[in-house]
Amino acid sequence: MPQPQQQENPVTVAQGLNMAYIAATVHAACIMPWLRSRPGTHAYANTGPLALIAMVFYAAFANCPEMLDYIPIWLVAVIFRRITSDRTQHSRYYGVPLLTRWFACGPVTAMKMEVIVMLAAVLLLPISEPLGLFFLAETISLTVILVIEGGAQALRRRRMHDASIEHEATAEMFHEE
């Protein structure tokens, strides 16, 4: 009797990128209230609770009691960002990078600078190695977000350009008739 073949369910590239983006976004939510201002009204609605759970698990599994000291401070920052949210922004927008104001640069440049700022987490290593490593890993999360959002933005731009060309070609066909 032939054995039934097991169906393989490989993860596609798109699914892998989505999972990486979600993980990076949740991890970045652990620091984002300190890096951004004027977020959308629901910026932390999904990632906030998951970030809180991630920090509690990290505190337990990495033996990092300092994380438990950080969590209430983070909660206050998230509540403050919710109170000061910008209703004109997209509800899920994480806010304008504070570095935009401080260095008079564009938001994308400021987001790149956020990655560099997070490298300062090295200074936490002598105080608490697990806490320092957690925040040092933010550089990876912020970079993943930058790369994926940049790629998505470039794809949107290309599709808009293609649609514009197709629109012009279609309009020319109707004008010729």
* Full pLDDT tens readout for the chain, 177 residues: 566 666 677 878 888 899 999 999 999 999 999 988 889 899 899 999 999 999 999 999 999 999 999 999 999 999 999 999 888 988 888 888 888 777 777 888 888 888 888 888 888 888 889 999 999 999 999 999 999 988 989 999 999 999 999 999 888 888 776
The model carries a pTM of: 0.79
Tokens representing residue 150 in the block:
């940049």
Give burial (CB, 10 Å; 0-12/13-18/19+) of 177: exposed
126 vs 160: CA distance, rounded Å:
50
| 8 Å CB contact between 124 and 131 | yes
Domain extent listing, the chain: 13-148
